[in-house]
Structure 1
Amino acid sequence: MADLLLPPAQSLPVLDVALFDAPTIRGLTERAADDRARPWPTLLASGYARYFRDGDRDAYEQLLWERTDRLTRTAVLAAATRDPAWIDAAADGVLLFCEQSTWCWPAHDDSHARHGSVLPTVTSPYLDLGAGEVAMQLAWIDHLLGPLFDTAMPGLRARIRYEVDRRVLTPFETRRDWHWLAEPLSNWSPWIHGNVLVAALRLVDDTARRDRLVRLIADGLDRYAASLPPDGAIDEGYSYWWNGACRLLEAYDLLAYASNGALGDATAWPALRETVAFPHRLHLGGNWYVNHADGWARPPLSQPWHALHRAARLFGDREAEAHAAAHRNPSAPVLDESQGLGRLLTALTDPAWQAAAHPPTASPAPTPGLTPTPIPADADADADADADAPNAPDLVEFPQGVSTNSTRSRQTPTPALTSNPNPRDLGESAFGTDTSSTRSRLTPTPAAAPAPPPPDLAEQPLAADTNPTRSRQSSTPTLTSNPNPRDLGESAFGTDTSSTRSRLTPTPAAAPAPSTPDLAEQPLGANTNPTRSQRPPAPTPSLRDLGENALGTDTNPTRSQQSAQPTAAPAPATPDLAEQPLGADANPTRSQQSAQPTAAPAPATPDLAEQPLGANANPTRSRESAVGRGVGVDVWFPSTQVLVRRGGRVALAVKGGHNGENHNHNDVGSVIVALGGVPVVVDPGRPTYTRETFGADRYSIWTMRSSWHNTPTILGLEQLDGREYAAADVRVGDGGISLELSHAYGMGGSWRRTASLDHDVVLVRDEWELGGGGTSLIHYVLAGSVSVGDGFAEVVALESAGRLILSWEPAVTCAVTVRELDDPMLGDVWGERLTRLDIDVTGLGPSGSLELTVKEQR
């Protein structure tokens, strides 16, 4: 491998400050205006110890992330201006991190468990998301400002290398019992591996050691890629995609650059082709997405859209590329510092991303090339055969124009996004102790045709040791610009570091992607500004938060059966899905390794004349409707059992799955209903992380419980947490989905839910056969202004999206529970409160049914 890698001085992309766009530099300058007049944030022992004293982790982390963001903007401004004052300020920030006792976040450090200490043990540094982030940041700063530091602050670069080695590289190489190396893998794996990759490529001069480190990293990346289901779904949902699959794509991008395309071939993985479409497949409208688990329904505006744009270009996915481009506002920064220095530098030096903006007056238009595809008689067999094909089977994305109308953006009734979750918030998950490396993939990467080289950037190297002549060589894959060190993904691997199957031999470049026609989508409007300049003092959840799952005893392995990839059973000759039912003990998440995410059949009627959906089912696209707000295709993700159906103005999402997923909420059978792209029947998401979030008391938090999802409470019982508490006998058919919920409650009897959408009318039917006594309620959580009468509730949706009427049998009583939202993680999305309907069906007897109808009130 040593022969494949460029030397450290050339292994990160050449950074041309001439490409730094004015809006981004202007935004950084505005936010940094008073930086030099005030002290750097101070991290105190008492703040760190709070996690162990009262469970508060946010106070310390907010100061840490403020320090991190300040260093990022200072470093970029130092490079852009070469102002000695900014160079000194960047050196000050670097030394502060070098002298910081720990780079680990309090909730992750094992010093308390191993040594009984509430403070970090500096002699045994812990490698978590936070430590990887700092190592990445310092490596990029060394690349960006190295020669300037040599002149202004000799000796500082040696200190960087010493601290990164001591805190990150040596622990990574020598300690192989990290929980994030064990299966089931989560987004910690690509996140940490990607950050370590940046540090190893840039800061390690010893050729043999660099070779060992990169082999371990490549193995970890490959193992995470192998763990992804063929449909590309992420069980944590859309929010966590950015710090899981996206970080993997960015890491492969960097590895390809550092090896001139010999390594890091993302196109060799069919699941990665599918996961590039995952964000827009869950898009509801505007800034709203289908959310599950700890994800947000309205994620932060500052997302690394450039990374999705780059990956979409690599795979030739026009719809994903268009969806990303719709978030590119030419008058706004390309990204802000909350996403990390690596991601910011990548966005700043990607000409295709900077040119991706669309005219503000453009109207959504149908995306060319998307036409209805009938279900073939051998749909499943075809999908299985195509799974390994370079160009993948029919992608089931809906056209970019869906629900991106900017006229409704951020109207008065909608709560402002005051907190800005960033990569620091999105990465944590629990894992077991299995460190098997059987999927390490250390074999040569399959060949692919050369990709057309990007246009020469005419970069001017900032570092004297940087070679600009090879910055965009033709052998480099399309994704060549530097991925963010925070995003460079990695995967879990164990003590077996065998190189027998790793993709560490030269790989031919990828086939040329089809040219993408100019896409004239509407911009998302002023509310898409990714800066955080108007952020109030509320706690700032960050991407750093989006990676945490229970590290405590309440966690459930969710991907432990990732290696199995069953072959899809042949589909019947008719559009009906004649699969075998999923039993109570079936793994409803990632066992369906052969299924591609495809559109569910469009209904001729709301009736569900479906047949049981088997583990290998691959419902094939049968409908794609015109582009417009709330209009698109229907999508079914077999691996997570998530169905999304879209009508003209109303959309329905239903989740099956199980209660042992990463960042799990007890939500089997829950439904989401959106009007005009805005959720009305909602999944609340999650509050600010505390010690309880990933401990034994997780399910005492109201947002995690089934009673605050759109599910029933049966005979006084709520759903239980664990993989075995799952949907059963799941059927997807002509109107929607039908599934058995009783197993999620660990009870006998039957509770079957059927949910369908037809002509913008949602019908949810619950039928039960129960034994014993107790109160049974059906809950619906609503966002907006709610009025309730006998047998109905009217909701005025957020963002003036319209009115929905929920109606049921008037004789069935309904209580109303109002939940005031004092946590900014929830209030920033939903406003001051959520309202829950508690429909009491106890009086209907041990055997009965209830239908709920949801439609727009015009």
Structure 2
Amino acid sequence: MRFLTITFLILLGMSLRTYAEQKRDLLQNKASLQAVKAALVANQDWVPYPAYADRAGWEQLSGSYREHQIQNGEKYLSYEWRVIKATDYLEFEKSGSRTIMESPMFSNSNVLSSLVLAELCEGKGRFIDQIVNGTWYFMELTSWASSAHLVSAQRNRRALPDFREHIIDLGAGDMGSLLSWIHYYFKESFDRVDPSISARLEQSIRERILDPYMNRDDFWWQAIHLRPGGNVNNWNPWCNFNVLMSFMLIENDPQKRAEGVYRTMVSVDQFINHNHDDGACEEGPSYWGHAAGKMYDYLQALSYATAGKISIFDQPLIKNMGEYIANTYVGDGWVVNFADASAQGGGDASLIYRYGKAVDSKAMMHFGAYLDAKNEEKFLTAGRDLFRPMEEMKYKNALMTTTPALPSYEAVWYPETEFLYMKNESGLFFASKGGFNAESHNHNDMGTFSLYLDHQPVFIDAGVGTYTRQTFSNERYTIWTMQSDYHNVPKINGVSQQDGAQYRSKNVQFDAQKGIFSLDLAGAYPATAAAQFWNRTYQLAKKGGLTITDQFSLTEAKAPNEINFLVWQKPDLSQQGKITLQVGSKTVEMGYNPKHFTSKTETIELPDPRLSRVWGERIYRVSLIANKVAKKGSYNFDIQIQE
């Protein structure tokens, strides 16, 4: 058996922690400011890709991508750059919609990066005018930040950009990095059009990225003044990577450059310190690419910038953080999701491969090759990030010659983050979690589980709908997807789980030999639930099904307990004591004592496209409502496969 034994402000994914982070400071211990200054490669000599004028180099680098990238850019030779109106920003304050402002912003940035890749691949100057137009458009914008982030970051707390201060959020950082690459590759081309373009571009990047980063320490994601128990999430490596790119591509003063790079190291250390030794991503697999994945991008770029002199890829934690993404993969595009993560994805094949190569993880490299072999679309999508597509081109041949394979294990246990994955010989994949109800992107889901049969979801976690103002506000837990009633956990004494760092698991145990995972759920519920303990035990047979046992004791019994299960397939409740689900050619039956419960089904329609893209038009909730109000008791649920 293979298993791991490594021993109220919800705003933009922020939350409180209940464990003390480890002050590892891996980057700062690797190099001081003076050492960074000595290690940094001069100017832009560190860039590992061909110069724009090196046509042979670009033909070799782009390889099989070349023609598609050129064709993709040709679609935008007559693109009309979309306007973002003041009322589009202000709509976030009125209705909570962020997409009205973000849609034209993302469209314009995606077009610009597509034009840049097309010109780099072709090199004939056909796309330069439109690249100038796109660059000019973004320089004319008051801010590169999103309305949803401006409202919390600006001093005036408004969604409309304030010209008197520059905010670095995810979007602003991305644009700073993208435009820094544009300045590096096309400064001479721009100067032939008008030298003021590149001069203004450099000034814009300095004013909007470099100067605010060095002069401000109140961007929460910097974690400069992180309080004990404070949270650091994917924003930290994501924003710091972008800032690092801008410093390395724009700033050539050795002292200023070193100070900027070192400041990013201090900040990223806070993210690394925040993570458990087991390496699990508490934000879920959908966020891995923005969290550990962006940390990898940052570390790789830092290694390039210092000719490999500053690297921490040999640290076990960095490897553990990478391998998490391979272990979460169920199959056929499905992943173990929780919190705001989606149940579909798998990850960026090239990113996973490159990360695996850097940390010497065969599992990651083979898994990356597996995802790449499954990918029918053999072209690059840059978004606002040019670093990843250029890295993908660089490593494509190595990826294609790697043997595809899924991770092989019977169980993977993350003892600190309290995530567990188990497989059995009957085609079942079981996942469960402990933890607490203030994790980053938290849902009230402590103790929930998911179950897959032959790579198909059966008992599920719905995920999250389209982000709005309510998603990251004090209204978050009014949204049904966030509530424990729509996860696979009980409603105790008529009371649901509560959000907050104090609401967490107790007595978590995993017996790998017996396939048993147990924990006390009572700590996730407020005092009104009157729960002394609610011990839930999951046991996955080596060949067979899953048994769930709930044993409980209440100080008083006020209302019937209710056990909820969220399922993908339409349930058949026609037989008392049995819930039947058809999964392909197989039948999954969950047995329960009909003397204990009355069952009912709720059909949950999914008009939100972020949910319906994953699950289709609807999912279902099965509720087993106790027939007796009892202070003590035991419930058993037996899930079996019928061929």
Q: From 402, 426, 438, give the equivalent of 1:660.
A: 438
**Counterparts of 1:193 and 1:785, CA distance in 2:** 45
Pairing 1:207–2:260 present: no
Amino acid at match of 2:350: H
Distance 1:792 1:30, change over 3 A: farther
Name the SS of the counterpart of 1:854 in structure 2.
strand
Q: From 256, 269, 282, give the equivalent of 1:235.
A: 282
Amino acid at match of 1:107: A
Q: How far is the alpha carbon of 1:97 from its aligned partner?
A: 0.8
Q: TM-score, normalised by structure 2?
A: 0.87
Aligned twin of 1:7: 42
Pairing 1:644–2:421 present: yes
**Counterparts of 2:47 and 2:115, CA distance in 1:** 20
Most deviating of 685-694 and 309-318: 309-318
Pairing 1:82–2:123 present: yes
User: Any stretches of 5+ residues in structure 2 without a counterpart?
Assistant: 1-35, 51-56
Within a 5 Å distance, the mapping from 1:236-275 to structure 2 comes to 236-267=283-314, 269-275=315-321
**Counterparts of 1:100 and 1:278, CA distance in 2:** 39
Aligned twin of 1:619: none
Distance 1:808 1:760, change over 3 A: same
Name the SS of the counterpart of 2:638 in structure 1.
strand
Q: From 25, 32, 38, give the equivalent of 2:79.
A: 38
Within a 5 Å distance, the mapping from 1:362-373 to structure 2 comes to none
**Counterparts of 1:348 and 1:272, CA distance in 2:** 24
Contact 2:46 2:305 in 1 (8 A): yes
Amino acid at match of 1:328: D
Name the SS of the counterpart of 1:85 in structure 2.
coil
Cα-to-partner distance string for 1:278-331 (whole Å, 9 max, x where unaligned):
0111111121111111101102x7x43222211211222111110011122486
Aligned twin of 1:595: none
Contact 1:12 1:201 in 2 (8 A): no
Q: From 523, 526, 531, give the equivalent of 1:743.
A: 523
Cα-to-partner distance string for 1:377-415 (whole Å, 9 max, x where unaligned):
xxxxxxxxxxxxxxxxxxxxxxxxxxxxxxxxxxxxxxx
Amino acid at match of 2:326: H
Name the SS of the counterpart of 1:796 in structure 2.
strand
Amino acid at match of 1:678: Q
Aligned twin of 2:213: 172
Contact 1:11 1:202 in 2 (8 A): no
Q: How far is the alpha carbon of 1:334 from its aligned partner?
A: 5.0
**Counterparts of 1:261 and 1:632, CA distance in 2:** 33
Amino acid at match of 1:76: L
Pairing 1:823–2:601 present: no
Cα-to-partner distance string for 1:66-117 (whole Å, 9 max, x where unaligned):
1111011100101111233311111111111111111111111147862254
Amino acid at match of 2:515: G
Q: How far is the alpha carbon of 1:153 from its aligned partner?
A: 4.4
Pairing 1:108–2:164 present: no
Q: How far is the alpha carbon of 1:233 from its aligned partner?
A: 0.7
**Counterparts of 1:802 and 1:210, CA distance in 2:** 61
Amino acid at match of 2:301: L
Pairing 1:320–2:97 present: no
Name the SS of the counterpart of 2:600 in structure 1.
strand
Aligned twin of 2:343: 297
**Counterparts of 1:205 and 1:842, CA distance in 2:** 73
**Alignment length (residue pairs):** 585
Q: How far is the alpha carbon of 1:270 from its aligned partner?
A: 1.9
**Counterparts of 1:91 and 1:113, CA distance in 2:** 29
**Counterparts of 1:8 and 1:677, CA distance in 2:** 50
Within a 5 Å distance, the mapping from 1:806-845 to structure 2 comes to 806-811=590-595, 812-843=597-628, 845=630
Contact 1:728 1:740 in 2 (8 A): yes
Q: From 412, 416, 424, give the equivalent of 1:635.
A: 412
Q: How far is the alpha carbon of 1:791 from its aligned partner?
A: 1.8
Within a 5 Å distance, the mapping from 1:57-136 to structure 2 comes to 57-110=98-151, 114-115=155-156, 117-136=158-177
Contact 2:153 2:219 in 1 (8 A): no
Contact 2:69 2:121 in 1 (8 A): no
Aligned twin of 1:502: none
**Counterparts of 1:803 and 1:338, CA distance in 2:** 42
**Counterparts of 1:213 and 1:294, CA distance in 2:** 33
Aligned twin of 1:680: 458
Q: TM-score, normalised by structure 1?
A: 0.66
Distance 1:23 1:793, change over 3 A: farther
Q: How far is the alpha carbon of 1:339 from its aligned partner?
A: 6.5
**Counterparts of 1:153 and 1:83, CA distance in 2:** 18
Aligned twin of 1:338: 383
More helix per residue: 2
Contact 1:792 1:808 in 2 (8 A): yes
Q: How far is the alpha carbon of 1:769 from its aligned partner?
A: 1.6
User: Any stretches of 5+ residues in structure 1 without a counterpart?
Assistant: 359-517, 523-626
Amino acid at match of 1:121: D
**Counterparts of 1:178 and 1:88, CA distance in 2:** 36
Pairing 1:307–2:351 present: yes
Cα-to-partner distance string for 1:206-229 (whole Å, 9 max, x where unaligned):
222111111101222233223221
Amino acid at match of 1:741: L
Q: How far is the alpha carbon of 1:155 from its aligned partner?
A: 2.9
**Counterparts of 1:786 and 1:116, CA distance in 2:** 47
**Counterparts of 2:466 and 2:152, CA distance in 1:** 23
Contact 2:251 2:257 in 1 (8 A): yes
Q: How far is the alpha carbon of 1:266 from its aligned partner?
A: 2.5
Contact 1:711 1:778 in 2 (8 A): yes
Contact 2:150 2:157 in 1 (8 A): no
Pairing 1:519–2:380 present: no
Q: How far is the alpha carbon of 1:181 from its aligned partner?
A: 2.3
Within a 5 Å distance, the mapping from 1:542-553 to structure 2 comes to none
Aligned twin of 2:200: 159
Q: From 378, 388, 392, give the equivalent of 1:347.
A: 392
Contact 1:729 1:739 in 2 (8 A): yes
Q: How far is the alpha carbon of 1:27 from its aligned partner?
A: 4.0
**Counterparts of 2:629 and 2:501, CA distance in 1:** 31
Contact 2:241 2:294 in 1 (8 A): yes
Distance 1:271 1:111, change over 3 A: closer
Name the SS of the counterpart of 2:164 in structure 1.
coil
Pairing 1:356–2:399 present: yes
Cα-to-partner distance string for 1:243-291 (whole Å, 9 max, x where unaligned):
1111111111111111111113322x32101112101111111211111
Within a 5 Å distance, the mapping from 1:682-721 to structure 2 comes to 682-721=460-499
Aligned twin of 2:581: 795
**Counterparts of 1:161 and 1:847, CA distance in 2:** 69
Q: How far is the alpha carbon of 1:520 from its aligned partner?
A: 4.6
Contact 1:326 1:357 in 2 (8 A): no
Q: How far is the alpha carbon of 1:44 from its aligned partner?
A: 1.3
Contact 2:432 2:447 in 1 (8 A): yes
Within a 5 Å distance, the mapping from 1:729-768 to structure 2 comes to 729-733=507-511, 734-747=514-527, 748=530, 749-758=532-541, 759-768=543-552
**Counterparts of 1:331 and 1:295, CA distance in 2:** 24
**Counterparts of 2:44 and 2:336, CA distance in 1:** 43
Name the SS of the counterpart of 1:644 in structure 2.
strand
Contact 1:712 1:779 in 2 (8 A): yes
**Counterparts of 1:794 and 1:94, CA distance in 2:** 57
Between the two proteins, what is the percent identity of the paired residues?
26
Pairing 1:855–2:640 present: yes
Aligned twin of 1:584: none
Q: How far is the alpha carbon of 1:149 from its aligned partner?
A: 2.7
**Counterparts of 1:117 and 1:816, CA distance in 2:** 43
Q: Which has the higher contact order (CA 8 A, sep 6+)?
A: 1
Contact 1:676 1:801 in 2 (8 A): no
Cα-to-partner distance string for 1:803-822 (whole Å, 9 max, x where unaligned):
32222113321110110001
Amino acid at match of 2:372: R
Cα-to-partner distance string for 1:518-555 (whole Å, 9 max, x where unaligned):
52549xxxxxxxxxxxxxxxxxxxxxxxxxxxxxxxxx
**Counterparts of 1:520 and 1:725, CA distance in 2:** 41
Contact 2:153 2:167 in 1 (8 A): no
Amino acid at match of 2:526: G
Distance 1:111 1:796, change over 3 A: closer
Most deviating of 712-721 and 841-850: 841-850
Q: How far is the alpha carbon of 1:62 from its aligned partner?
A: 1.8
